[in-house]
Amino acid sequence: MRDIDKGSITSPQGFRAAGIVAGIKPSGKKDLALVVSDLPATGAAVYTTNRVQGAPIGVCRQHLADGHARAVVINSGISNVCTGEQGRADARRMCAIAAEQLGLQTTDVLVCSTGIIGVPLPMQIVESGILRVVAALREDGGPEAAQAMMTTDTVAKHAAVELEVDGATVTVGAVAKGAAMISPNMATMLSVVTTDAAVPAAQLQQLLVRAVSRSFNCCTVDGDMSTSDTVIALANGAAMGGSVEPADLSPKGFEDLALAMEHVCRQMARAMAGDGEGSTKLITIRVTGGRTEPEARQVGLSVANSSLVKTAAFGNDPNWGRILCAVGYAGVEFDPDRVAVSLCGTPIYGNGQGIPFDARALSGAMQAKEIEIDVDLRSGAASSEIFTCDLTYDYVRLNAEYTT
């Protein structure tokens, strides 16, 4: 598996993409993205589990019912959530217009929207934007599509890897956005994963669920699970001769592709946490010694969502009691006297009590752009790695001043 420098969703063969300024965002920044497979492709998706869901999600579910899709149109600025029947009609219309321009069936097009909740889309602007974004499609347009998905993100998020699958050299690429309302299962996050491997829709769905569980579902900024979260995968088989109804991957091919999808999705999740609203540092929480992977993840997320841990990280404060406290209320059984905790590689807790450390030196180590918290539960062999960020003045400023 080889990382591709500046890789994205257009790194796999047979995909084009674009990102343009449609005029939805008052800021005049890019706000409309499109990715298209030039060949028939299988599709899969994972959505937010929030009971309140954006209109685009219902449309994606319908259009993916047959396991095929060729394009995803994405706008940022307005999320098309809590917009009633009009919102559902608008989401369908975005697909229909893109399909018409691309010469596809409406059901071959998926749609995502991200931004403020409860505001109707300016459909005249969106419609004319779709005409222009189709005209702007390029074979290297993936990074621009990533830009056009951004809301409060400060960096565009994209990656790709190349690997061998069942004898062919294939590529897996991804773009993603998300900087707040980020919490597992999932967040104000959108991501599109493309591959030129040939994968049946059912296998693609399995691969995506597995990759998401170890990437986006291990990433939290503020514990708020959004109404729009969507991860879409498209596989067009271009590197394997193309195929409308591809045969199953071999067991080894499946595992190889699973690792690649997990890898690019983890890069996206890590980038989202590192770009968390107002954050100054990325925090990686590694939980080992869990009885099961879900339990290890639950403990890691409990630490990652603790406002007290996150503010202490911002203040470079080695206040390990807050870490222990969050491990304790994770809802997982363990023996507090056996747990071991390290911060930035320094053992700080074990045998039921604190381990003396040089507070000044550890506070200095915490000033790095990336810090690590290791929790060994010593009750099993399962592990999980969680990405989050610190809680800062700027998070409060950004979110106290978002609409007014």
Q: Which residues are catalytic?
A: 188
Among 259, 325, 365, 382, binds a copy of itself (CB under 8 A): 325
Would you count residue 315 as binding a copy of itself (CB under 8 A)?
yes
Would you count residue 379 as binding a copy of itself (CB under 8 A)?
no
Closest CA relative to residue 9, chosen from 189, 236, 231, 172: 172
Contact stretch for a copy of itself (CB under 8 A) within 248-256, 284-292, 311-319, 379-387: 311-319
Count of residues interacting with a copy of itself (CB under 8 A): 69
Would you count residue 49 as binding a copy of itself (CB under 8 A)?
yes
C-alpha span between 338 and 353 (Å, rounded): 10
Among 83, 101, 151, 379, binds a copy of itself (CB under 8 A): 83
Q: Cα dist. 12→171, 183, 197 in Å? A: 5, 29, 8
Tell me phi and psi for residue 175, to 5 degrees.
-130, 155
Q: How far is the CB of 211 from a copy of itself (least distance, A)?
A: 22
Strand pairing class (168-177; 157-165) = antiparallel
Q: How far is the CB of 224 from a copy of itself (least distance, A)?
A: 5
Burial of residue 129, with CB atoms counted within 10 A of its CB: 0-12 exposed, 13-18 middle, 19 or more buried: buried
Among 26, 124, 167, 353, binds a copy of itself (CB under 8 A): 353
Would you count residue 293 as binding a copy of itself (CB under 8 A)?
no
Would you count residue 56 as binding a copy of itself (CB under 8 A)?
no
Cβ–Cβ under 8 Å, residues 68 and 108: yes
- 372 three-class SS: strand
Radius of gyration (C-alpha) of the chain in whole angstroms = 21
- The structure tokens listed for 212 are 């998401």
- The structure tokens listed for 325 are 């406290």
Would you count residue 392 as binding a copy of itself (CB under 8 A)?
yes
Q: How far is the CB of 389 from a copy of itself (least distance, A)?
A: 12
Q: How far is the CB of 139 from a copy of itself (least distance, A)?
A: 37
* AA letter at 17: A
Would you count residue 347 as binding a copy of itself (CB under 8 A)?
no
- The structure tokens listed for 5 are 């420098």
What is the separation of C-alpha 202 from the centre of its chain, rounded to a whole number of angstroms? 21
Among 314, 374, 376, 389, binds a copy of itself (CB under 8 A): 314
C-alpha span between 117 and 226 (Å, rounded): 10
Would you count residue 53 as binding a copy of itself (CB under 8 A)?
yes
Contacts to a copy of itself from residues 126-145, by CB under 8 A: none
Tell me phi and psi for residue 174, to 5 degrees.
-150, 150
Binding flags for a copy of itself, 173-192, as an x/- string (CB under 8 A): -------xx-x---------
Nearer to a copy of itself, 158 or 322 (CB): 322
Closest CA relative to residue 83, chosen from 106, 56, 107: 56
* AA letter at 197: A
Nearer to a copy of itself, 166 or 317 (CB): 317
Binding flags for a copy of itself, 204-243, as an x/- string (CB under 8 A): ------------------xxxxxx----------------
Nearer to a copy of itself, 204 or 313 (CB): 313
* Longest Cα–Cα distance in the chain: 68
Contacts to a copy of itself from residues 100-119, by CB under 8 A: 116-119
What is the separation of C-alpha 221 from the centre of its chain, rounded to a whole number of angstroms? 12
Q: Which residues bind a copy of itself (CB under 8 A)?
A: 49-53, 79, 81-84, 87, 116-119, 180-181, 183, 222-227, 305-308, 311-312, 314-322, 324-330, 332-334, 336, 349, 351-354, 359, 363, 391-393, 395-397, 399-404
